[in-house]
Amino acid sequence: MPQGTRQSRSAALSGRTSYAKSRDTRARILAAALEEASDSGFHKTSVARIAARAGVAVGNLHYHFGSRRELLRELMGSLVADLMSRLHDADPDDSADFFDRQRAGLLVYLDYLRANPAYLRLADEVKLHEPDLYRQAVAGWVERMVARIRVGIERGTLRPMDAAEITAQAHFLLGARHFLEQMMESVDGLGDEAVVDAYLALLRDGLRADPRLVSSRGKGR
């Protein structure tokens, strides 16, 4: 084999190995930051403690993330991406009833909160310290909900609404998650399904289409 070819292959292998190590280091730092956030809050811990928990030098942490601020942004981004992936996997297909889709998503959300207790604490820290990032996340959630409401209206599952009310309802649905979070924490002996069903009973009364009108509306999207 020509020497140049061997050198090229060796360089490529070395590059892949370095990339794998770098990716592993980043993952360890993010995991350590999440553990610290779970224990005491992200902004109450030190970069040195996160680095020590991850088993890396402080300089290595700064090399990968630059600052505590960027580490917080990436940590929250990774949690949101994980949550969205789970919501997508659990979402019934587009032919499902609006309320059935809401129920499936909310049960996944509550399950995610139990598995990731630092999520809400980090969301509060992002809202306080990174308001632009928080507003961006809210806008994404609202856009997703607006699209779902429009589909529900077109199919006759939801009552007719104009664009302004659709947007207002989307914000309400996002804000109502706080109601579910509080119920999950404060109501003894009430499982997640009972909490979600109690919430959906209220939601149906406000958004459900008049059954007398459903038969006159098309069911297609």
Instruction: Spell out the domain ranges in the chain.
Output: 1-66, 68-221
d(Cα 6, Cα 219) in Å, to the nearest integer? 64
pLDDT in tens, 62-114: 999 988 888 888 888 888 888 888 888 887 766 678 888 889 888 998 888 88
Same fold, 1-66 and 68-221: no
Beta strands in the chain (DSSP E): none
Q: How many helices (H) and strands (E) does the chain have?
A: 11, 0
Instruction: Give the SS3 label for residue 151.
Output: helix
Q: Which residues contact 146 (CB under 8 A, 6 or more apart)?
A: 166, 167, 170
pLDDT in tens, 180-195: 777 766 666 678 888 8
In this structure, whether the domain defined by 68-221 belongs to CATH 1.10.357.10 is answered with yes
- Give the pLDDT confidence score for residue 51 in this predicted structure: 92
Specify the DSSP class assigned to residue 160. -
- Give the pLDDT confidence score for residue 146 in this predicted structure: 95
Q: What fold is seen in the domain 1-66?
A: Arc Repressor Mutant, subunit A (1.10.10)
Is residue 174 over pLDDT 80? yes
- Give the pLDDT confidence score for residue 54 in this predicted structure: 92
**Whether this model's pTM surpasses 0.85:** no
